[in-house]
């Protein structure tokens, strides 16, 4: 069984917490985490871009002028790709960019990301992290006391005061433990979790 020190918001050691080895000490396979990151980034792409081809564009059913004798080029439709207001050839189409990733693979990749932060000593656990009011200055003071740069802060429950106080600080993101993912864990320099978030995460992944 692993263990980690628990600190207060003032960076004072207040105890220890047991960490499950099958969550925070997993053998890391970079290619698996890479798949999880690709799947996450692909899922947030909207894929709604699209243009109209000749089958979709309206009009153009009537021949604009007779085939011969006018001195103009031959034309069969007013919606030709050569004309203004015409169709687009080989344009982008709306599509789904999502990549299928098995649930077990996603869970394992998350365990590997957590294990990476623990092995690099970039995991910091707090007994509680909450603010009595919405004020960026208060959050920055706590952040500086803990020696953090660009952390991902994971809480057990949604904290409106904390989220609103931290949202204007560059490089900082606050999420709940049920929203944690491989991409966010690896993107940030440090991982900060409150004690309850760790317990709930271990219960869910263990």
- Closest residue by Cα to residue 198 from 68, 56, 17, 5: 17
User: Is this prediction's pTM over 0.85?
Assistant: no
Which residues neighbour 146 within 8 Å (Cβ) at sequence distance 6 or greater? 7, 9, 11, 124, 126, 192
Q: Do 143 and 60 share a structural domain?
A: no
- Domain count of the chain? 2
Q: 168 with 71, same domain?
A: no
Last-in-domain residue among 96, 129, 157: 96
Residue 86's domain comprises 47-96
φ, ψ (nearest 5 deg) of residue 155: -115, 160
Query: Are 16 and 79 in a shared domain?
Result: no
Same structural domain for residues 23 and 121?
A: yes
Per-residue pLDDT of the chain (206 residues; tens, 9 = 90+): 788 999 998 899 999 999 999 999 999 999 999 999 999 999 999 889 889 988 888 887 889 999 999 999 999 988 899 998 889 999 998 999 999 999 999 999 999 999 999 999 999 999 988 888 999 999 999 999 999 999 999 999 999 999 999 999 999 999 999 999 999 999 999 999 999 999 999 999 87
- Each residue of 99-118: b (16+ CB within 10 Å) or e? eebeeeebebbbbbbbbbbb
DSSP one-letter code for 18 = E
Q: Are strands 13-19 and 123-126 parallel, antiparallel or unpaired?
A: unpaired
């Amino acid at each position: 069984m692993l263990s980690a020190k628990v600190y207060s918001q003032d960076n004072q050691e207040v105890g220890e917490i047991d960490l499950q080895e099958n969550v925070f000490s997993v053998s890391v396979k970079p290619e698996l985490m890479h798949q999880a990151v690709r799947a996450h980034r692909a899922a947030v792409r909207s894929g709604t871009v699209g243009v109209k081809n000749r089958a979709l564009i309206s009009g153009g059913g009537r021949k604009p002028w007779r085939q011969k004798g006018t001195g103009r080029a031959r034309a069969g439709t007013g919606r030709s790709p050569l004309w203004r207001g015409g169709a687009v050839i080989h344009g982008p189409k709306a599509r789904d960019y999502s990549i299928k990733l098995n649930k077990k693979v996603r869970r394992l990749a998350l365990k590997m990301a957590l294990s990476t932060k623990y092995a690099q000593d970039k995991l910091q656990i707090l007994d509680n992290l909450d603010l009595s009011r919405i004020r960026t200055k208060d959050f920055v003071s706590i952040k500086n006391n803990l020696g953090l740069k660009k952390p991902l802060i994971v809480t057990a429950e949604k904290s409106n005061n904390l989220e609103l106080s931290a949202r204007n600080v560059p490089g900082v993101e606050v999420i709940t433990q049920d929203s944690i993912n491989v991409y966010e864990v690896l993107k940030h320099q440090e991982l900060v979790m409150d004690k309850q978030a760790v317990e709930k995460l271990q219960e869910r992944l263990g």
